Structure 1
Amino acid sequence: MSTAVPLPSVQDVFTEDEVARTAYARLVPLENQAELFIRVLGQVLIQAPSLEERALVAQQIHNCATNQELIDLGKFCLEQFVEYIKGLRALSSPPKLARSEILLNIPTVAPRNHLEAKKQALVRDNYRCVVSGFVDFDAIEALPRLEKDIATTPAMIRYTECCHIFPEQEDRNDFEEPGHHNTSSRFTLAHVFGGAHEPSLAETGIHNLRNILTLETGTCPAFREFMIWLEPTGEIANQYRLVKRYAHYGKDLPEVVTFFSTSPDLPVPDPRFLAFHAACARVLQLSGAGKFINRLLYQPKDSSISTYSKVRLRLA
């Protein structure tokens, strides 16, 4: 099922941002030449979650002297999405947590690896999925009090996973390609949508609890593959509306979720990181890049965007 849509007309976007509007106006006429690349670039500009990120994307578009450079920039953005999803998939097999390793007390040291992040996130999230509310299977036997919760609430029992928002990122300082002579080494997907180079995450690594959600094993892949994402309600802090790529997916999931922590020393997921994830999800949905990337990553290992897109520049 395709979710791709054509780029909106110039008259319908950026009515109060002339710089972004003129940048976007350069893209629309190219949509028929390289549909996927241009739709990705156009949606990256539209979906950027802050004026700062939007200005950066608009400037990169203005820096392109030719139409081919614009197409190349769109291709570069698509490559960033591919690397991002590959990085998340590489984290998709979390370490097994023995029941004896379930933490009973509030940890005092920040997590340094995947296993520690999983343990601490479970403590923070009261041993349950932050979206569905399902209680972690392994925690039930380690913590008898959870059995009382199950007995007195509608909560169900499921295995849970430690789900990252950002994967590890490679240094892009050596990036140099025709059409990107003025492209900053910071112009990576994560920088555009705000957050991956935020100093404290760079110092503490991807296992920082602000980058982690506890999700049950059915919901974690959906979040990782951008089938669901979280948009702030704007009503109270850390409250989000659950958005789905397909309306029929996850009918049993709540429409609104609110994040809490069992301790002020265990931070909840960072709203900026969730805004990044949501922006990526919207781009992947509206441009059709999500379907393209899934097909690409199931191709032989030597496949690349350049070779695969020769027959896929236009979307089915």
Structure 2
Amino acid sequence: MRSPAGYGDGDSVVFEVGRQYRDHLIRRFRTSTEPYLYLSPSPHPSPPSYDKLEDMTRDLMKPSGKDYRTTRKKALARDGFRCMIIGYFDKTSLKYSAELQRMEETLGGIPVHVQTSHILNESTTQGVGMGEESSTHYTAGVMAILRQFGLEHLSLALETVDGVHQIWNLLSLQFDLHSDLGRLNLWFESTGEPNRYKVCVSNARIEQHIRRISTQFRSDLQGAPPPDPQLLALHATCARVAHMSGATEFFDRLEWEVEETNVLAPDGSSAHLLSSLMSPYAYIHGVA
């Protein structure tokens, strides 16, 4: 999205609206950092070996907490300890289940690192639980937009402490696919059949190999619903808009500049960088 300099007042308004959607919505589906690399869930502090997969699943579903450490275990159990797209089994989970090992030998494939991915990223509820003012400034933008789209029930759930870790906001994906989802290079489009989606990617070469792939998100476990279809639809919309508008290139360039910039330039030439970094945390007046 380019600067509105040189445009008329109407164009400036359109630019400003676009900027707010870019920073307060699209950016909330895009994850630039991955703090949980290679931290696949383990069933127990000293994980036992399970002969029956049912026993392992039951143990993982017992905790009632809603923190990330708890819900990521439930999400992986919900998804059969496999990547939801390619179906390969999680390396760590295979270590603790003899039945999973037998299934992996029968079905074939390659054991992979399966990551628990957020559809709407973790920064969405940054500040929740830190007091009303902090919470409002960090969450008001995206929550206001969710309400505008008629998703007030989702905004209310996400605004609670650890609300972003709701299991319906989590996907189990192989590491590279986890990264692609977070960078809006992968998304899911509804096929019209409940919980079945077409897998879409931005890379044309990769799309040639997976363009016919569809995946079905299902769950037979109580308390572990599949990924929310409305969030997936909004994520898909953001991904397409981000690529059509050039927002993905903007975010990639911004992250590169952040990586390369140690201090702000004294002549003010890096003011745009500071403004871009601060923009997502600005309060949107009139829509909260």
Alignment CA distance shift 1:95-1:191 (3 Å): farther
Q: TM-score, normalised by structure 1?
A: 0.65
Alignment CA distance shift 1:186-1:121 (3 Å): closer
Give how far 1:252 is off. Answer: 5.1
SS at match of 2:199: strand
Equivalent residue pairs, number:
240
Alignment CA distance shift 1:114-1:250 (3 Å): farther
Alignment CA distance shift 1:208-1:98 (3 Å): closer
The one-letter code matched in structure 1 to 2:257 is: Q
Deviations 1:208-227, CA, capped at 9 Å, x for gaps: 10000011111100111111
Q: CA–CA distance in 2 between the matches of 1:308 and 1:116?
A: 36
Give how far 1:134 is off. Answer: 0.9
Are residues 1:119 and 2:73 paired? yes
The one-letter code matched in structure 2 to 1:76 is: Q
The one-letter code matched in structure 2 to 1:131 is: I
Aligned partner (choices 32, 35, 46) of residue 89 of structure 1: 32
Are residues 1:233 and 2:191 paired? yes
Give how far 1:72 is off. Answer: 2.1
Q: Look up the match of 1:157.
A: 111
Deviations 1:88-109, CA, capped at 9 Å, x for gaps: 3345425734645365415144
SS at match of 1:121: helix
SS at match of 1:264: coil
Give how far 1:244 is off. Answer: 1.3
Contact 1:241 1:257 in 2 (8 A): yes
Taking every aligned residue pair, what percent have the same amino acid on both sides? Answer: 21
SS at match of 2:206: coil
Contact 2:143 2:155 in 1 (8 A): no
Structure number with higher helix proportion = 2
Q: TM-score, normalised by structure 2?
A: 0.70
Q: CA–CA distance in 2 between the matches of 1:94 and 1:291?
A: 24
- Ranges in structure 1 where 5+ consecutive residues have no aligned partner: 1-34, 39-64, 176-183, 310-316
Give how far 1:127 is off. Answer: 0.5
Are residues 1:205 and 2:147 paired? no
Alignment CA distance shift 1:172-1:208 (3 Å): closer
Give how far 1:250 is off. Answer: 6.0
Q: CA–CA distance in 2 between the matches of 1:241 and 1:82?
A: 20
Aligned partner (choices 133, 137, 146) of residue 87 of structure 2: 133
Report the aligned-residue RMSD: 3.3
Contact 1:149 1:155 in 2 (8 A): no
Q: CA–CA distance in 1 between the matches of 2:27 and 2:71?
A: 23
Q: CA–CA distance in 2 between the matches of 1:206 and 1:185?
A: 15
- Ranges in structure 2 where 5+ consecutive residues have no aligned partner: 48-55, 127-133, 265-269, 277-288
Aligned partner (choices 226, 232, 248) of residue 205 of structure 2: 248
The one-letter code matched in structure 1 to 2:185 is: M
Aligned partner (choices 245, 250, 256) of residue 298 of structure 1: 256
